[in-house]
A and B are shown apart, each in its own frame.
Chain A
Amino acid sequence: MKMKRMMCAAMAAAMTVSLAACGGSNSTAETTAAAGGAAADSAEDSGAASSDAVFVIGGSGPLTGGSALYGTAVQNGGQVAVDEINANGGINGYQVKWLFEDDEADGEKAINAYNTLKDGGMQMFVGTTTSGACMSVIAETENDNMFQITPSGTTADITKPANVYRMCFSDPAQGTKSAQYIAENGVAQKVGVIYDNSDTYSSGIYENFVKEAQNQGLEVVGAESFNSESKTDFKTQLQKLKDAGAELVFLPFYYTEASLVLKQADEMGWAPKFFGCDGMDGILDLPDFDTSLAEGLMLLTPFSADAEDELTQNFVAAYEEAYGETPIQFAADAYDCLYVIKAAAEAADITPDMEISDMCEAMKTAMTEVTLDGLTGQGISFDENGEPNKAPKAVVIENGAYKSLE
């Protein structure tokens, strides 16, 4: 009896200590931040811009679990950009610190990751990588009035709060633009769709694609779905679309599943045209995938690592050197996010000692004024809703490489 009570007391004591420790570490972080701010002030007074004060930019994405690939790409792409920015003198003369936390692509964990970043002194947020997690975090950032730009959260409602911007195309934009492209270029008349109904990205694009296809006079002959638990066998779906006479199959999902679709269609001896979205980017780098199957596959993508321009080449070289792999579009989106922040921060002339909320207000005004020639598009600008204006690039795969379509 006594022992139990002792144990209990010990437990309670341990809890108290751990809680007090969190409180303690937080307050020290605050004091150092305050001290940093003071140092910045005095440094400015003496005329030297460089000091201990830094911009702390945080990001989050899945670093563990099934979609860890995307989170890691955002983390690394952001790191490449931050290293470059710091080497070139930082933002407004201040160095940039890049923090990144694992959110496991889950709404609840994403809030924990966001709060951890806040405890680390984050002033601006690049995240989250996945749409579902992003939907729950926007409520937090709106509450704190923290400037947020998501590199790759595509769900339409993400940019609803005034403080949230987006670097990639939204689901409606991708679905609509795909349908427009197919209709305007006369790629096909009878279209079939396969989509992942357990994924917000995929079902979001699908719905908007179908809506726009009807406007454009395309005939959607069939829409077949699969879900995250049955994503290895697509023969049933393909057979149904084949029987319905589809000339083109629209595949709004990620390249791992798409590679199976292409393979199984080939095994069936059916060769319609295939059309994908930005999630298709990366299919050529998939291990053990016969790239000849992807011949003639069209996709809308903002970024291709094979592009000839100097910016892309430098980025790919830096990324490959640091991480030993070819960057995917998520890395490019994160890279552009950091540069947009740099551009807007310089236009708004913000400093690290500003309040987070004031910083956000200044950034909001500046965001609509800046344009960026980035990896994912030329002359990217933002409207007041937080959506990017950039031209979608359509590419076709020929001889195992992307070729731009006009």
Chain B
Amino acid sequence: MKIKNKTFRQNAITYAMVLLFYLICQGLIMSGNMSSLMKGLMVPICYYVILAVSLNLVVGISGELSLGHAGFMCIGAYSSAIFAVCVDGKIPEMAELLLALVIGAAVTAVFGFLIGIPVLRLRGDYLAIVTLAFGEIIKNVVNAVYVGVDENGLHFSMKDSLSLGLSENGIEIINGAQGISGLPRTATFTTGIILVFITLFIVLNLVNSRQGRAIMAIRDNRIAAESIGLSVSKYKMMAFVISAALAGVAGVLYSHNLSTLQATSKNFGYNQSIMILVFVVLGGIGNIRGSVIAAFILTILPEKLRFLSDYRMLIYAIVLITMMLFNSAPKAIAWRKSIKERFFSGKKAEAGKEAQ
């Protein structure tokens, strides 16, 4: 009973934190006190939080190192963008976004399942390598694909847009490396936050459910888990597919936040996958709330360091290393502990003063 209360309280804190963040930001936006930069960052923060939380499900809860998360994001973004271009102006914006989210999540889940079949037979480093390759393959494939539509239906080519053979009033949907353009920009901060809540709800509930405990049991001791009759592949697949689908949702949000979509090594390459992994590692592997906070901080940080101009990326790296050390180095943990002990052994009033 007590344990249940504890997890409930922990989860409530996470939800409350996100809600508080939303209310503060919304207040600042309404009162016109938020800078354009921060306003522009609101939706990106949401999709990076979703990406971090969903990757934490695989890396932290299921214990598999996946480096292909940006690939899933890419699938979600492209599938929803194709849908958005096809139905643009034919159905209301909100309905379009909702359907795009469903389609993005569903397509990515299917891919997650297909990729999960061979990948989850592997362990450790091998799994990391294969997922890394998968992410790169996805990026390169969407860069080489040309898709167009006219009254005769869909046209498809891997060579160039000329060989699509479109009629006069046909439109190009995916134009190879030039990507998809003319996307509706319907993602808002509110939709983003709602999706963050849904993601947190799914992941936190999964973790504390029977299935979640099975996933963690397999992570901690595969043989013991198998011996009591847990199906290893089923539970691993469950975590992997849910994580992929949520990354797809983040991709949908990404594609609906920009008017054009191109797959570059910056947004869907392995750099991005590593970036998401950095969110997870910084926030603490297996710590969902940590992922949320880390994704928030690391999205804001490079923008807030712009005043350093040429040294921005250098300082960003140093800050990142310092934060990692502060968070996880044994000496830093011991130091933090001693500080906290001193902090709490003092009188409450003093503590209050210090906090101020």
Contact = CB atoms under 8 A, between A and B. Distances in A.
B34 interface: yes
B209 interface: no
A132 interface: yes
A16 B24 contact: yes
8 contacts: A112-B37, A115-B36, A116-B303, A136-B259, A197-B143, A197-B144, A200-B178, A206-B160
Interface stretch (B90-98, B186-194, B238-246, B261-269): B261-269
Interface stretch (B39-47, B63-71, B228-236): B39-47
Interface string B149-179: 0000000000011100000000000001111
A380 to B, nearest CB: 26
Contact of B140 (A65, A199, A229): A229
B143 A198 contact: yes
B17 A8 contact: yes
B44 A23 contact: no
Contact of A227 (B34, B140, B293): B140
A101 interface: yes
A366 interface: no
A53 interface: no
B213 interface: no
A200 B262 contact: yes
Interface in A193-236: 196-200, 203-204, 206-207, 210-211, 223, 227-229
B264 A132 contact: yes
A15 interface: yes
Given A114-B40, A203-B177, 5 more contacts: A8-B289, A107-B267, A118-B36, A119-B37, A200-B262
A116 B300 CA distance: 12
Given A15-B21, A106-B264, A198 B177 contact: yes
B290 to A, nearest CB: 10
Contacts of A116: 36-37, 303, 306
B37 A203 contact: no
B211 interface: no
Given A18-B300, A135-B181, A203-B176, A12 B20 contact: yes
A8 B292 CA distance: 12
Contacts of B313: 64
A22 B162 contact: no
A11 B28 CA distance: 18
A329 interface: no
B176 A197 contact: yes
B178 A138 contact: no
Interface of B: 6, 13, 17, 20-21, 24-25, 28, 33-41, 44, 140, 143-144, 160-162, 176-179, 181, 185, 254, 257-260, 262, 264-267, 289, 293, 296, 300, 303-304, 306, 309-310, 312-313, 340, 344, 355
A115 B306 contact: no
A3 B140 CA distance: 47
A54 interface: no
Contacts, number: 141
Given A26-B34, A107-B267, A119-B35, A211 B162 contact: yes
A126 interface: no
A244 interface: no
Given A12-B17, A200-B177, A22 B306 contact: no
B40 A111 contact: yes
Interface in A308-333: none
A376 B278 CA distance: 45
Given A15-B21, A139-B185, A155 B39 contact: no
A25 to B, nearest CB: 7
A63 B309 CA distance: 9
A12 B297 CA distance: 12
A157 interface: yes
B33 A26 contact: yes
Contacts of A105: 264, 266
Contacts of B266: 65, 104-106, 109
A27 interface: yes
B260 A19 contact: no
A108 interface: yes
Pick the most buried of A2, A12, A114: most chain B CB atoms within 10 A of its CB. A12
A107 B265 CA distance: 12
A3 B259 contact: no
A228 B263 CA distance: 12
Contacts of B260: 107, 132, 135-136, 139
B177 A115 contact: no
Nearest to A139: B259
A101 B306 contact: yes
B37 A228 contact: no
Across the A-B interface, the 4 shortest Cβ-Cβ residue pairs: A23-B33, A139-B259, A26-B35, A115-B36
B306 A102 contact: yes
B300 A135 contact: no
Contact of B39 (A115, A139, A229): A115
A102 B35 contact: no
A19 B39 contact: no
Given A12-B20, A15-B296, A111-B40, A3 B340 contact: yes
Contacts of A157: 181
